[in-house]
Amino acid sequence: MPSLTLAEARERADLVTVTSYAVDLDLDRGVEVFGSRSVVRFTCTTPGARTWVDVHARTVTSATLNGRALDAGDLVDGRLPLPDVAGENELVVEAVMAYSHDGQGLHRATDPADGLDYVYGHLFLDAAPSVYACFDQPDLKAPYELTVLAPEEWVVLGNGAATREAPGRWRLAATLPLATYFVTVCAGPYVSVTAEHDGIPLGLHARASLREPLERHAPEMLEVTRQSFDYFHDLFGIRYPFGEYHQVFVPEFNAGAMENPGCVVLRDQYLFRGAATRDELLGRANTISHELSHMWFGDLVTMQWWDDLWLNESFAEYMSHRCLVDATRYTDAWVDSSIVRKVWGYGAERSPSTHPVAGVEALDAQSALQNFDGISYAKGAATLRQLISFVGDDAFIAGVRDYLSRLAYGNGTLANFLGAIERASGRSLEQWSRAWLLTADRDTLSVRLTEQGGVVSDAVVLRETPQRHPADRPHAFDVAGWTDGEQRLGLSLTVTDAETPVPALVGNPAPAVVVPNAADLTWARIRLSDSTIDALPAQLASVPDAQARAVVWSALLDGVHGATVSPDTFLEVFHASWPHETNPSLLTRVASYAEHRIVPWFVPRERQAGVRSALAESGRTVLEQAPAGQTASLAAARLVAGTSDDESLLRAWASGHDLPEGLSDDGDFRWIVVRNLAGRGLLDDEGIEQFRSRDDTLQGSLNALLCRASRPDADAKAWAWEQLTGRHGRSNYEMVHLARGFWQAPDDDLVAAYVPRYFDDVPAMAGWVGEDALSRVVESAFPVVFSDATARLSAAALERTDLSPGVRRPLVDCDSELREVLASRRAFAGS
């Protein structure tokens, strides 16, 4: 179906003002379809004009405009024409809609643990018309009233407070003005934990089979919710305006969470069934705070068009980390950001698909979805930290309050926001915004030190601007250096030139390790000196600043991807430093990068078995010395479980014997072991099924699919590929898990025949898989066969003109990563 264009949205917004929606949903019609009745009241500036309403229905059974019947046969490509519109109008559309299984629209999933069904609405970015008839664009906000008919045993939740009026009949309280993509309904036999804070009713909800982890984790999640409410109320000076606040943990959710006002939906993997590391808890806390901050940035004030997506995501990304540091126990949230969020964002920046933080011309809605990435999140947050350095925190917060107050319940633009900051600070942001917001790519920062007799004799900070996207960005950051754990230098500065002499560093003892941007205040490629890289195996573990260590690890990862740092160098630093790491985020994430990215991508296939054994040995070292049940021991156990070639150990752990403390009844840990066994050909389908029967849950079924796809057997690969690319009604999660396991193989020969098939079979799935879900399949299923032949096929695919946006963008990014791997292998072939 054609995507709404910016020109069309502007034309319709000039014509139409929506005054209210009344939506009635019938969710008691079986497992395939539901009923939808929409009453839309709107005014028109030009009576007699013609426009359209968006409806993606299986069948439109009735449609009237001001009592006049409309011909449902005129519905084309999801658009129902509205001829001869009056000044004031009432549109009534009754339709039969289809449940989705790809995480978009009204998604319905069955929990195999008990056979119960759950429904949730995820209407981002343009899925609202698959649930109700609407004028689907973010600047046509209106209040909503919803009624829902559901099976009697179901609970119904939504944007407004839900009241059960009769068995199976629910009414949701009228809302304040909302954008169409924020409307949601969650319905099913959800179980709940309720509370209250500062007069705001709170609710946490999940599938019945997740009652135990929901109740176990509820106190922690409610604490973060309360702390975030207090922090944002004080920071923004505006109380939360949307009534009750529910957080619903739903199955098969495409994203981390969605900020629907009053009813946030989150992926239910956040309800950790087994042991959780501290960084996993921090990540969940960050998501909770992130979505709550959206109640102001995105919900109260909504972007006018999708090209200002950053007004939602960059702010929520920044504000959630700020809140965690200032108001919760997760005071190391910026360390986590450095090794998780910024690594993600730097990857997006390296790709040919890189784009500016703001001002990206989104000519239609679907093209805007492709910029929903680490640049809009992580780079945007880093840019806001630079803005604060430029204007001062007091002026920044004053401008934020001005922006939110002036545009409450309406829509905002980049110009609106910058105007508010300029009024508060008295400074022009024209040049600053052109460099930081409106120009893509990043600068490279490095330090050139000259020493004599162990003392710094000259110091210069270098700023290199990218040739393909030149900009004059001022950088406020710091430089720090250590030797044997002792800080030898530290200085904050602002760089505005290609070369900036730093006389304050002269005369200091020359440090073994020098880290530009050690506090990670700016956004840049950090180039470590050769001498620093050489010193890292002996020195990194003794650097006492976790934030600086995170910057070093990020720079090493960036260097491996950029073919300036050998993967062997990364692994050498890993084996020397990781066993001594104390920060939870660095412990778990760096180990994950080593296991799941550095080894399978950058290490040649013939060397991978030996390198994995070395990773397992490092894991055993930590496991032997770390306190039982703590993050270090959990991270180490997971690394051993995923990389060890010790069959007797793996079989014992899979059977529940001799497990590390805290993992005796941890089904998710068991699946790491089972996948390792399956990938080595040590389990057949029957053996995998035995483990699935012990974990007869949604997650257990998904893990079983991944393990079956991982088996090094031609028949297993043929089955997995057909299940992935055929029309079997597989859910979005099932497709991703099949894709994740498929390319695991002892050699390229087993899967080489599927490389050309990928470029035909996966794009063809656009015919039945939604764009959001398909983009994840494209990425997960991209061939892990790194060869010039694969690169030629990938390049040829990108020449095609029939690729949908949800296929093309992730394919561009995957192609770029393929070429990074090939460049690295060429650069370090002899190492």
Rounded Cα gap, residues 288 and 717, in angstroms: 39
Check whether 361 has a pLDDT greater than 80.
Answer: no
Average pLDDT estimate for 357-384: 85
pLDDT, tens digit (0-9, with 9 covering 90-100), for 441-461: 999 999 999 999 999 999 999
What percent of the chain clears pLDDT 90, i.e. is strictly above it?
Answer: 95
Residue that the structure tokens 């929990």 belong to: 111
Residue 117 backbone phi and psi in degrees, to 5: -100, 145
Pick from 377, 384, 294: which is nearest to 341 by CA? 377
394: number of Cβ within 10 Å: 11
Check whether 352 has a pLDDT greater than 80.
Answer: yes
Rounded Cα gap, residues 717 and 710, in angstroms: 8
Confidence at residue 3, expressed as pLDDT on a 0 to 100 scale = 87
What's 341's DSSP letter? Answer: I
Check whether 99 has a pLDDT greater than 80.
Answer: yes
Amino acid, single-letter form, for residue 47: P
Catalytic residue, chosen from 291, 317, 349, 581, is: 291
Confidence at residue 2, expressed as pLDDT on a 0 to 100 scale = 78
Rounded Cα gap, residues 681 and 674, in angstroms: 11
Does this model's pTM top 0.85? yes
Alpha helices by DSSP H, 237-338: 278-293, 310-327, 333-336
pLDDT, tens digit (0-9, with 9 covering 90-100), for 457-495: 999 999 999 999 999 999 999 999 999 999 999 999 999
Rounded Cα gap, residues 783 and 223, in angstroms: 43
| Per-residue pLDDT band at 360 (split at 50, 70, 90) | confident
| Per-residue pLDDT band at 366 (split at 50, 70, 90) | confident
Residue 100 backbone phi and psi in degrees, to 5: -105, 165
Confidence at residue 771, expressed as pLDDT on a 0 to 100 scale = 87
pLDDT, tens digit (0-9, with 9 covering 90-100), for 685-713: 999 999 999 999 999 999 999 999 999 99
Distances (CA, A) of 179 to 136, 274, 301, 305, 365: 8, 37, 10, 11, 14
Confidence at residue 367, expressed as pLDDT on a 0 to 100 scale = 73
Confidence at residue 746, expressed as pLDDT on a 0 to 100 scale = 93
7 and 364 Cβ atoms separated by less than 8 Å: no
Pick from 168, 164, 122, 183: which is nearest to 27 by CA? 168
Rounded Cα gap, residues 819 and 782, in angstroms: 13
Check whether 363 has a pLDDT greater than 90.
Answer: no
* pLDDT, the chain, mean: 96
Confidence at residue 267, expressed as pLDDT on a 0 to 100 scale = 97
Rounded Cα gap, residues 134 and 67, in angstroms: 18
Residue 631 backbone phi and psi in degrees, to 5: -55, -45
Residue 471, burial from CB neighbour count under 10 angstroms (0-12, 13-18, 19+): middle
Pick from 795, 734, 804, 728: which is nearest to 763 by CA? 804
Check whether 369 has a pLDDT greater than 70.
Answer: no
Rounded Cα gap, residues 192 and 213, in angstroms: 12
Rounded Cα gap, residues 661 and 263, in angstroms: 37
Rounded Cα gap, residues 250 and 266, in angstroms: 6
Contacts of 396 by beta carbon, 8 Å cutoff, 6+ apart:
384, 387, 388, 421, 424, 425
pLDDT, tens digit (0-9, with 9 covering 90-100), for 53-76: 999 999 999 999 999 999 999 999
Rounded Cα gap, residues 789 and 653, in angstroms: 40
Confidence at residue 831, expressed as pLDDT on a 0 to 100 scale = 63
**Would you call 291 a catalytic residue per the annotation?**
yes
- The verdict on whether omega for the bond into residue 125 sits within 30 degrees of 0, i.e. cis, is yes
pLDDT, tens digit (0-9, with 9 covering 90-100), for 785-802: 999 999 999 999 999 999
* Distance from chain centroid for Cα 786: 26
716: number of Cβ within 10 Å: 22
pLDDT, tens digit (0-9, with 9 covering 90-100), for 542-577: 999 999 999 999 999 999 999 999 999 999 999 999
793 and 756 Cβ atoms separated by less than 8 Å: yes
Confidence at residue 476, expressed as pLDDT on a 0 to 100 scale = 98
